[in-house]
């Protein structure tokens, strides 16, 4: 419990450290299926164990924490389930680097010891991000922290794999897959990033077999793959080539001849020469074309993307260049092939050409289409129900614009390659009987890894088989591949809740409520969770998917370490406070727009935190006597007005949270507190508070205390630390703001009358202050004001505010009827019917005031003419709705009323200037 003596500026560091510890120790975030209330559950998108908190996490987690704290305060049975994922390739890379530094390698220590090393690494470094999350104030149930390689989650993975296999939805196949020659593993389609590069388009002469003096011109961007061509395709309706169909060409640099086939799908007559080489083992389109024409697949490369001697042999490459080509990289091979074609007069042209290339999303190495046996998920049957639940709105995607993005991708989805040739991850639960597969299981790689040919018969089971059901053999080889990390992530919403066990948690919290994520993993993760959730739980994994923006730098560039434009959230939290960072991110989370984050914005909200802090300091000066909260009896204008505004703010914030409009919710909080509560309310009640004998004193102090306390609860999900810190110093019940009820609107707080009065008051004070500035009167100077209004009711209203007008206007106030206002030595300012006259004293420059009046008259005239023009239009009067016409008429009348006053005031000024 902190003392009410608050420092002059808010120092977040000590406060944050203290409260994160208390919250955690007291178990306020602990969830239980036995708690009361409607369940509200979010599972965190598991950050990867090699990562540390970046600003994207900060945004993602801040939003979730806002939702979670808000729902918790609303009395829901809240569970925010944290965890991390094992990030197969990334983590393996990190540990391999460590080994390399020690002069060792994964291969040298072997699979078992390598995996031990990874676990060791995970224990030492894998929780970095978790402690950083706690620093951000995340109110996760940390007791339930999960990891994708945990025993329970691994059990779920086995269960899912085996059941999908039984259902025929997992199969082994030999197909072209994306292969990273650096990571030495397969990648799924979406783990490949496409990028346009400047390449070259080579046009090559393929001599006709029956007449080698004639050529077919073939264009390609990858000449080195021509060695593996098994056909050339032309369009069936292309007059240029129709006579060549079913003829053969001699494949340059080889001793082979290959057929010319017709293919309307592959060939675009407009592009290049209209003739396309088909290389089924090195291009995804060619693979399909090869199937259509029953072509042989010649795989040229080894796993390092070097030309393999075996491949060169199979391709019947000329002996003369085979030695030169063997074990060269793609780049080198290209040079050799092009040089060789050129020297033989077969290179017809080389043109610059822009083309897309695929890169590994983890290491940015150029990915090769590679022919190899892999495990796949047959995705179509899983995708169909996952499309339906989004179409019917059982899963809502917010903002809705992304829905089509999702549906489009899902409708065109391709089978998912789930096997990875790495060691860190869930090893595939498939075994091969040594006896049955004796003939084909002979080869092993240098590192001891078995190569499992496609023909091998796997036994898929949750536990290793003891004897072969076929031959009774008892020796087995475990499939060396591991599963794609996203395979286990796809089970996250139910595996973390205990599935396949039917735990109370699973029953209570599944389906979860909301998933908060960035667009970048909509396909990687969200789509797959929906498919797996429907398949294994028979229900959607979550009701709402909120997709937030990407955080970019001030210039709108993606943040990256190499560009040096990364904003480190921990540094920002250190500098400006965690609450400021959270509030900033929330305030910028407008739907459908990326966030350009600049430090100045965070500084601005640091100032907001400080403003709240100082308002609390102010309150403490006068709340010393109040030890417990009591219902306010304040019936004064400032109290009723601010309570009405607070009520409205509660309504807006709640509504915007329901709509996931964090930007608008924060704006409402900011505007209310700074520009209504501090600028007006606190200023208005100062005279009452400062007069210890004031009859309204007690009631005013209670209202001050109550409104501040309610505001802090309203603010808490957004700025958890400062709200807790201040709340603790105010009279309160309960031990923490974390579990207090979220404010709800109250009909008797709504007070339109005092809001209307305030509007009038604000205009009046505004004119008084403007007048002071126009006449260069010092702020402290006692000035005499004459306030009038055309509407007698408004004068009565203003009459009740005389004390307040005197206080904030800093001068004497005379409320008079319009006809009675003094006409000499007075500057009159007018706005919306309010007239404020200021006595002109001393030697002041009136030209500034005159300029303002002249300008205002011109504006008034312009607007009057616009309105008058509309009202004179027969079309407008006959077709516009009556209330719009009335409104126009009212505004025109008010303008001409103001104008009369303005010109009269102008004349007075001119008279004074002339004198």
Partner RNA sequence: AGGCGGAUAGCUCAGUUGGGAGAGCGCUGCUUUUACAAGGCAGAGGUCACAGGUUCGAUCCCUGUUCCGCCUACCA
What is the rounded distance in angstroms from the CA atom of residue 261 to the CA atom of residue 273?
15
Q: Tell me which H or E stretch contains 99.
A: helix 88-101
Using the minimum distance from each CB to RNA, give the nearer residue, 247 or 762. Answer: 762
741: helix, strand or coil: coil
Stretch that binds RNA, among 83-91, 271-279, 531-539, 732-740 (CB under 7 A): 271-279
Please list the residues that pair with 294 across neighbouring strands. Answer: none
Among 266, 325, 764, 840, binds RNA (CB under 7 A): 266
Q: What CA–CA distances, in Å, run from 769 to 242, 776, 837, 838, 848?
A: 89, 11, 11, 10, 14
What is the rounded distance in angstroms from the CA atom of residue 534 to the CA atom of residue 518?
22
What is the rounded distance in angstroms from the CA atom of residue 890 to the CA atom of residue 832?
12
Using the minimum distance from each CB to RNA, give the nearer residue, 222 or 334. Answer: 222
- Applying the rule CB under 7 A, the residues between 856 and 885 that interact with RNA are 863, 870, 873, 875-876, 879-881, 884
Supply φ then ψ for residue 691, to 5 degrees.
-95, 105
Among 159, 663, 790, 906, binds RNA (CB under 7 A): 663
Using the minimum distance from each CB to RNA, give the nearer residue, 45 or 577. Answer: 577
What is the rounded distance in angstroms from the CA atom of residue 296 to the CA atom of residue 258?
10
> Taking CB under 7 A as the rule, which mask of x and - marks residues 87-106 in contact with RNA?
--------------------
Beta carbon of residue 85, minimum distance to RNA (angstroms, whole number): 19
- The DSSP code for 318 is -
Beta carbon of residue 885, minimum distance to RNA (angstroms, whole number): 8
Using the minimum distance from each CB to RNA, give the nearer residue, 388 or 851. Answer: 851
What is the rounded distance in angstroms from the CA atom of residue 220 to the CA atom of residue 205?
11
Structure token pair of residue 172: 């082994």
What is the rounded distance in angstroms from the CA atom of residue 792 to the CA atom of residue 802?
15
What is the rounded distance in angstroms from the CA atom of residue 858 to the CA atom of residue 851?
11
> Taking CB under 7 A as the rule, which mask of x and - marks residues 609-648 in contact with RNA?
xxx--xx-xx--x---------------------------
Using the minimum distance from each CB to RNA, give the nearer residue, 164 or 398. Answer: 398
Using the minimum distance from each CB to RNA, give the nearer residue, 536 or 608. Answer: 608
Beta carbon of residue 852, minimum distance to RNA (angstroms, whole number): 7
What is the rounded distance in angstroms from the CA atom of residue 573 to the CA atom of residue 12?
9
Beta carbon of residue 341, minimum distance to RNA (angstroms, whole number): 15
Give me the torsion for CA of 732, 738, 744, 748, rounded to 10°: 10
- Applying the rule CB under 7 A, the residues between 508 and 537 that interact with RNA are 519-520, 523
Among 163, 175, 671, 694, binds RNA (CB under 7 A): 671
- Applying the rule CB under 7 A, the residues between 694 and 733 that interact with RNA are none
How big is the chain, counted in residues? 915
Structure token pair of residue 570: 């921990």
Using the minimum distance from each CB to RNA, give the nearer residue, 130 or 588. Answer: 588
Beta carbon of residue 607, minimum distance to RNA (angstroms, whole number): 3
Q: Is the CB of residue 522 less than 8 Å from the CB of residue 405?
A: yes
Beta carbon of residue 690, minimum distance to RNA (angstroms, whole number): 7
Among 113, 339, 817, 891, binds RNA (CB under 7 A): 891
HEC string for 152-192:
HHHHHHHHHHHHHHHCCCEEEEEEEEEEECCCCEEECHHHE
Among 401, 448, 464, 469, binds RNA (CB under 7 A): 401
Based on the shown chain and the rule CB under 7 A, indicate whether residue 896 belongs to the binding site for RNA: no
Long-range contacts of 813-822 (CB under 8 A, 24+ apart): 813/785, 813/787, 814/784, 814/785, 814/786, 814/787, 815/787, 815/788, 816/786, 816/787, 816/788, 817/788, 817/792, 818/788, 818/789, 818/790, 820/788, 821/786, 821/788, 822/786
Using the minimum distance from each CB to RNA, give the nearer residue, 512 or 835. Answer: 835
Beta carbon of residue 189, minimum distance to RNA (angstroms, whole number): 5
Using the minimum distance from each CB to RNA, give the nearer residue, 10 or 487. Answer: 10
Beta carbon of residue 385, minimum distance to RNA (angstroms, whole number): 22
- Applying the rule CB under 7 A, the residues between 330 and 389 that interact with RNA are 353, 355-356
| Per rule CB under 7 A, count of chain residues that contact RNA | 99
- Applying the rule CB under 7 A, the residues between 117 and 176 that interact with RNA are none
- Applying the rule CB under 7 A, the residues between 797 and 856 that interact with RNA are 855
> Taking CB under 7 A as the rule, which mask of x and - marks residues 280-309 in contact with RNA?
---xxx------------------------
Among 28, 119, 125, 409, binds RNA (CB under 7 A): 409
Structure token pair of residue 645: 């505004």
Among 52, 98, 214, 273, binds RNA (CB under 7 A): 273
Using the minimum distance from each CB to RNA, give the nearer residue, 202 or 487. Answer: 202
Beta carbon of residue 310, minimum distance to RNA (angstroms, whole number): 24
Number of Cβ atoms within 10 Å of the Cβ of 892:
18
Among 102, 151, 270, 843, binds RNA (CB under 7 A): 270
Among 99, 566, 678, 806, binds RNA (CB under 7 A): 678
- Applying the rule CB under 7 A, the residues between 548 and 607 that interact with RNA are 554, 556, 558, 588, 590-596, 598, 600-601, 604, 606-607
Using the minimum distance from each CB to RNA, give the nearer residue, 326 or 880. Answer: 880
- Applying the rule CB under 7 A, the residues between 747 and 806 that interact with RNA are 765-766, 769-770, 773, 778-780
- Applying the rule CB under 7 A, the residues between 174 and 233 that interact with RNA are 189-190, 193-194, 196, 201, 219-222
Beta carbon of residue 405, minimum distance to RNA (angstroms, whole number): 6
Using the minimum distance from each CB to RNA, give the nearer residue, 221 or 365. Answer: 221
**Structure-token match 């860190």, residue found:** 424
Using the minimum distance from each CB to RNA, give the nearer residue, 438 or 773. Answer: 773
Using the minimum distance from each CB to RNA, give the nearer residue, 41 or 768. Answer: 768
Nearest to 277 by CA among 228, 207, 338, 344: 228
Contacts of 796 (CB under 8 A, 6+ apart): none
- Applying the rule CB under 7 A, the residues between 44 and 63 that interact with RNA are none
Using the minimum distance from each CB to RNA, give the nearer residue, 157 or 180. Answer: 180
**Bridge-based pairing state of the strands 811-815 and 783-789:** parallel
HEC string for 571-631:
HHHHHHCHHHHHHHHHHCCCCCCCEECCHHHHHHHHHHHHHHHHHHHHHHHHHCCCCCCCC
Number of Cβ atoms within 10 Å of the Cβ of 626:
16
Using the minimum distance from each CB to RNA, give the nearer residue, 450 or 674. Answer: 674
Beta carbon of residue 267, minimum distance to RNA (angstroms, whole number): 5
Based on the shown chain and the rule CB under 7 A, indicate whether residue 10 belongs to the binding site for RNA: yes
Peptide bond into 511 cis (omega under 30): yes
298: helix, strand or coil: coil
Beta carbon of residue 493, minimum distance to RNA (angstroms, whole number): 22
Q: Is the CB of residue 635 less than 8 Å from the CB of residue 800?
A: no
Based on the shown chain and the rule CB under 7 A, indicate whether residue 271 belongs to the binding site for RNA: yes
383: helix, strand or coil: helix
**Structure-token match 């957004």, residue found:** 718
Beta carbon of residue 188, minimum distance to RNA (angstroms, whole number): 10
Beta carbon of residue 247, minimum distance to RNA (angstroms, whole number): 18
Among 69, 420, 426, 664, binds RNA (CB under 7 A): 664
Beta carbon of residue 881, minimum distance to RNA (angstroms, whole number): 5
**Structure-token match 């006409």, residue found:** 823
Beta carbon of residue 770, minimum distance to RNA (angstroms, whole number): 4
């Amino acid at each position: 419990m902190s003392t009410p003596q608050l420092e002059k500026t808010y120092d977040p560091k000590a406060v944050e450290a203290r409260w994160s510890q208390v919250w955690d120790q007291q178990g306020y975030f602990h969830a239980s299926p036995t708690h009361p209330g409607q369940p509200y559950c979010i599972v965190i998108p598991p950050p990867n164990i090699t990562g540390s908190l970046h600003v994207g996490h900060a945004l993602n987690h801040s939003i979730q924490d806002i939702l979670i704290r808000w729902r918790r305060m609303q009395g829901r049975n809240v569970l925010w389930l944290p965890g991390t994922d094992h990030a197969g390739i990334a983590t393996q890379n990190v540990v391999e680097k460590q080994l390399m530094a020690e002069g060792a390698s994964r291969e040298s220590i072997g699979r078992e010891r390598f995996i031990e090393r990874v676990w060791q690494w995970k224990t030492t470094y894998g929780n970095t991000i978790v402690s950083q999350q706690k620093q951000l104030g995340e109110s996760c149930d940390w007791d339930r922290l999960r990891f994708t390689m945990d025993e329970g989650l691994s059990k779920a993975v086995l269960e899912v794999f085996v059941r999908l296999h039984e259902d025929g939805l997992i199969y082994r196949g030999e197909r072209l897959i994306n292969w990273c020659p650096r990571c030495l593993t397969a990648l799924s389609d979406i783990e490949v990033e496409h990028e346009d590069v400047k390449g070259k388009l080579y046009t090559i002469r393929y001599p006709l077999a029956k007449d080698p003096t004639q050529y077919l011109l073939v264009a390609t961007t990858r000449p080195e793959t021509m060695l593996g061509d098994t056909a050339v395709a032309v369009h069936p309706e292309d007059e240029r080539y129709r006579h060549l169909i079913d003829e053969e060409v001699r494949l340059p640099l080889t001793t082979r001849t290959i057929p010319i086939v017709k293919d309307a799908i592959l060939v675009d007559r407009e592009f290049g020469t209209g003739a396309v080489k088909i290389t089924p083992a090195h291009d995804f389109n060619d693979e399909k074309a090869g199937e259509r024409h029953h072509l042989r697949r010649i795989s040229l490369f080894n796993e390092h993307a070097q030309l393999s001697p075996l491949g060169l042999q199979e391709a019947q490459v000329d002996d003369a260049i085979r030695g030169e080509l063997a074990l060269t990289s793609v780049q080198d091979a290209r040079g050799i092939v092009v040089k060789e074609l050129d020297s033989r007069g077969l290179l017809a042209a080389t043109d610059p050409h822009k083309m897309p290339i695929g890169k590994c999303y983890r290491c940015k190495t150029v990915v090769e289409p590679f022919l190899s046996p892999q495990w796949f998920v047959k995705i179509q049957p899983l995708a169909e129900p996952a499309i339906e639940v989004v179409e019917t709105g059982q899963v809502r995607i917010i903002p809705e614009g992304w829905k089509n993005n999702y549906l489009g991708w899902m409708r065109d989805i391709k089978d998912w390659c789930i096997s990875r040739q790495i060691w860190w991850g869930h090893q595939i639960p498939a075994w091969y009987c040594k006896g049955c597969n004796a003939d084909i299981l002979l080869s092993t790689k240098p590192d001891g890894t078995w190569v499992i040919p496609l023909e091998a018969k796997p036994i898929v089971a949750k536990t290793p088989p003891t004897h072969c059901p076929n031959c009774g053999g008892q020796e087995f080889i475990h499939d060396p591949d591991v599963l794609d990390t996203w395979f286990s992530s796809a089970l996250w919403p139910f595996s973390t809740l205990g599935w396949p066990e039917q735990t109370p948690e699973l029953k209570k919290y599944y389906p979860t409520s909301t998933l908060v994520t960035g667009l970048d993993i909509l396909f990687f993760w969200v789509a797959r969770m929906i498919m797996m959730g429907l398949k294994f739980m028979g229900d959607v994994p979550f009701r709402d998917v909120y997709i937030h923006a990407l955080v970019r730098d001030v210039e709108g560039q993606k943040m990256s370490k190499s560009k040096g434009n990364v904003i480190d959230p921990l540094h920002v939290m250190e500098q400006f406070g965690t609450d400021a960072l959270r509030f900033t991110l929330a305030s910028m989370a407008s739907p459908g727009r990326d966030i350009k984050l600049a430090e100045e914005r965070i500084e601005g909200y640091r100032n907001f935190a400080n403003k709240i802090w100082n308002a609390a300091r102010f309150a403490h000066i006068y709340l010393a006597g109040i030890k417990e909260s009591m219902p306010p009896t304040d019936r004064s204008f400032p109290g009723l007005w601010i309570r009405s505004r607070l009520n409205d703010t509660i309504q807006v914030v709640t509504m915007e949270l329901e709509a996931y409009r964090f930007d608008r919710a924060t704006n409402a909080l900011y505007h209310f507190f700074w520009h209504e509560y501090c600028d007006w309310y606190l200023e208005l009640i100062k005279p009452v508070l400062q007069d210890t004998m004031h009859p309204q004193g007690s009631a005013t102090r209670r209202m001050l205390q109550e409104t501040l306390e309610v505001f802090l609860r309203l603010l808490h999900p957004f700025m958890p630390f400062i709200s807790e810190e201040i709340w603790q110093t105010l009279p309160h019940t309960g031990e923490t703001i974390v579990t207090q009820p979220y404010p709800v609107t109250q009909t008797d707080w709504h007070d339109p009358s005092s809001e209307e009065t305030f509007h009038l008051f604000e205009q009046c004070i505004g004119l008084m202050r403007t007048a002071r500035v126009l006449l260069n009167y010092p702020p402290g100077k006692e000035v005499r004001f004459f306030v009038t209004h055309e509407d007698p009711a408004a004068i009565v209203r203003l009459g009740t505010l005389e004390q307040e007008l005197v206080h904030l206007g800093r001068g004497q106030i005379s409320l008079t009827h319009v006809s009675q206002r003094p006409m000499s030595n007075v500057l009159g300012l007018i706005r919306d019917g309010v007239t404020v006259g200021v006595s002109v004293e001393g030697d002041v420059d009136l030209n500034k005031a005159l300029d303002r009046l002249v300008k205002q008259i011109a504006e008034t005239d312009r607007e009057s003419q616009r309105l008058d023009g509309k009202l004179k239009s027969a079309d407008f009067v006959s077709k516009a709705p009556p209330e719009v016409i009335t409104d126009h008429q009212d505004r025109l009348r008010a303008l001409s009323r103001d104008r009369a006053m303005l010109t009269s005031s102008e004349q007075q000024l001119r008279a004074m200037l002339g004198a």
